[in-house]
Amino acid sequence: MLENTFDPDHLVALHGLNVQGSTDADLLDPARADAEFGHVDPADSRLCAIFGWPAYGGWLGRVSGALDLNAQRFELRVAAWPTLQHLQYVADGVPAYRLILAVTPVAADRCVQHIAVAVDRHGQRVRDRLRYLMHRGEVTAAARQDLPVFDTMRPGDRHGIYVPGDRPVREFRRFYQQWTNPGASA
């Protein structure tokens, strides 16, 4: 479930997000991860990335533009551990909201995903409230769209066919595998 975060192209393919260009992914080495997210020990205990995409287009671009909530560049900054991710959503360099995603195994082939969202305040009550409602709706809708995909996934379901944009997913799989099955390759 957590590798979903490392697949920024699914925002367009699954969630129908219309952006005015393509997504990009920057997997961070430990030194840059420390600079962006703070130091951890050991350095290989997390995997960090910054995913970006340009302004929203389509109906979301029109609505967010009318509310002055669109941006020239959006980023999702991710610090990931094997069962938890801290995400920060940034619009034109300004933090918009933070998420904690966690997964708890509850039975064989069954997990519960936990999502906590905190919206950054900027001192403008009406705009902060609009931002809260927009981002809460965005996170809720995305989680509901992801559930049918999660419900069909099976352990070892890797298919073996990758495109260059799958590099972040493959890196997360390698990272995760070192914790769940040391010595195995993804």
> What is the reported pLDDT for 160?
65
In a domain, 20, yes or no: yes
Contact 4, 166 (CB under 8 A): no
First to last CA, the chain: 15
**Cα(93)–Cα(120) distance, integer angstroms:** 13
What is the total count of domains within the chain? 1
In a domain, 31, yes or no: yes
Beta bridge partners of 97: 89, 119
Q: Which domain holds residue 152?
A: 2-180
What residues contact 115, with CB distance under 8 A and at least 6 apart? 99, 100, 101, 139, 143
In a domain, 91, yes or no: yes
In a domain, 176, yes or no: yes
In a domain, 151, yes or no: yes
This prediction has a pTM of 0.81
In a domain, 137, yes or no: yes
Using one digit for the tens of pLDDT, what is the confidence trace for 81-90? 988 999 998 9
In a domain, 169, yes or no: yes
pLDDT category of residue 156 using cuts at 50, 70 and 90: low
What is the CATH number for 155? 3.90.380.10
In a domain, 186, yes or no: no
Task: Please state whether beta strands 110-119 and 94-107 pair in parallel, antiparallel, or not at all (unpaired).
Answer: antiparallel
Instruction: Work out the mean pLDDT of the chain and round it to a whole number.
Output: 83
